[in-house]
Amino acid sequence: MTRRGAAVLTGAIILAGVGRLLGVSELYVVAAAAGVLVAAGFLAVRTSSASVAVRRTLPSSRLLVGGTGEVVLELKNEARLEATLLLVEDNCPVSLAEPARFVVGGLRPGRTVALRYPLAPTARGRHRVGPLTVRIRDPFGMAEKVRRYQTTSELIVYPRVEALSAESTRGAHRGTGSSDTRRVFAAGDEFYTMREYVQGDDLRQVHWPSTAHRQTLMIRQQEMPWQAQATIFCDTRESAHVGVGATSTLERGVSAAASALWHLADRRYSLRLATEETARAPMVEPWNALLDRLALVEPSRVRGLSPALGALRAGGGEGLLVAVLAPPTTEDLMASPDVRALLRAGRGYGGRIALVVVDPGRVQSAVSGGALVNLLRANRWQAATLGNEQPLAEPWSSLAAPRPRAWKAGQGASATPAATAIPTATRGA
């Protein structure tokens, strides 16, 4: 019985008592009509079909903060009788969507109805959509039958990703080799040159016209395209960041790291991700796996960066290092073991970019961040501060722009930016 049904039944009993006390027969009639209405509601719900199959479809298992999507609920009446008024409610976190409630005015046997509601994620992380509740009511709302479905759907929301400059990133000319010159291997994907046969070479690569001309086995030498590497280091220490919620420096730093990762993945970098909890040199992983880690990262209680930066230095190479940091709390930067470890780790990389996330409204945060940026620049880093509500595009453009190439005297310098733009929708959605 619903609250409305209980109220009507209580009113019917009261009217019957008052009618008996006062001897007014009309009150008996009203009380009897109200009782019949409640009984009819019970009968309608009891005989109504409760066999309603439900299927939930999500647009993708991954979405971006600030992106949009749509959930589709399909309800099918699998019974022989018509299902009367249906009240459908899908349990969805408020960080994903507004309350999802629907009213379906009856569902005939074998018929299917599709219900849709939009998703607009505002917080990163792993979210569960569901379970679904279907309430079958009579037309007057006197009684209801409740069915709860236990099936849920999982959705991972990536941090907010910003479109960055299409210019080439400094450090792109440093890879696993000594330069970006294509490295020659025994097998590859493009013809490079020919050389004499060496024991162990693949005989399928023999170039027979040259062999006949030189009277010795000649092998087609293939080349392997060079691939740049980049390592993203994200400082997620709870004690180092300030603020709470979406405007905290922690969330801004995670978003900046995700944007840099997306930007470099779009340029086919081999990517690695490390935090202060990384105990050993990070491995190269697919970009989507790294974004999953950033989506689920939690504030850590680790105090120092030295152990993780030491592991980062041990696994360093001639690639690009992008460090997203919180400002130090000490005034003497060179006495800080974290700063010294950061400088040592950066020496193993051909390109070094640092983004120091600060809260301009807090004097200590802004001053410490500016001091760290000046120190890093003095040690050949490309560094800039990033406000907790500042767009990333402006500082990134100044950091990632390639240095102009030196030409002969009188010719000046020029640089050609890349033409690829970063999409704003979820990859592979």
User: Which residue type, as a one-letter code, is found at position 129?
Assistant: V
Nearest C-alpha neighbor of 396 from the set 381, 384, 379: 384
278 CA to centre of own chain: 20
Domain boundaries, the chain: 3-47, 52-158, 183-224, 229-400
10 Å Cβ neighbour count for 205? Answer: 15
CATH of domain 52-158: 2.60.40.10
CA–CA dist 268, 264 (Å, integer) = 7
pLDDT tens-digit profile of 153-191? 999 999 999 998 766 555 444 444 433 333 333 344 445
| Radius of gyration of the chain measured on its C-alpha atoms | 33
Give the per-residue pLDDT at 250: 95
Length, in residues, of the chain: 429
Q: In the sheet where 229-234 sits, what is the strand order? A: 270-275, 229-234, 320-325, 351-358, 382-387
The CA dihedral of 300, 307, 309, 158, to the nearest 10 degrees, is -20
Give the per-residue pLDDT at 229: 87
> What CA–CA distances, in Å, run from 8 to 11, 35, 40, 265?
5, 8, 13, 64
Give the per-residue pLDDT at 192: 53
Question: Residue 103 belongs to what H/E stretch?
Answer: strand 100-107
At 335 the three-state DSSP class reads helix
Q: Matching CATH topology for 52-158 and 229-400?
A: no
User: Which residue type, as a one-letter code, is found at position 394?
Assistant: E
Give the per-residue pLDDT at 49: 60
pLDDT tens-digit profile of 180-230? 333 333 344 445 567 777 766 778 788 888 888 888 888 876 654 456 889
At 207 the three-state DSSP class reads coil
Give the per-residue pLDDT at 125: 95
> Mean pLDDT by 10-residue block, N- to C-terminus, for the chain (429 residues)?
89 88 86 89 76 90 93 90 85 92 88 94 94 88 89 95 73 42 40 68 82 86 66 94 90 95 91 91 91 95 90 75 91 88 88 93 90 93 93 86 42 32 38
Tokens at residue 122, please?
């505002």
Give the per-residue pLDDT at 317: 60
Whether 242 and 249 have beta carbons less than 8 Å apart is answered as yes
At 162 the three-state DSSP class reads coil
Q: Which CATH number fits domain 229-400: 3.20.20, 3.30.70, 3.40.50, 3.90.1480?
A: 3.40.50
> What CA–CA distances, in Å, run from 66 to 119, 313, 427?
10, 35, 14
Nearest C-alpha neighbor of 239 from the set 326, 362, 332: 326
CA–CA dist 104, 86 (Å, integer) = 5
CA–CA dist 44, 41 (Å, integer) = 5
Tokens at residue 64, please?
């971006």
Give the per-residue pLDDT at 353: 94
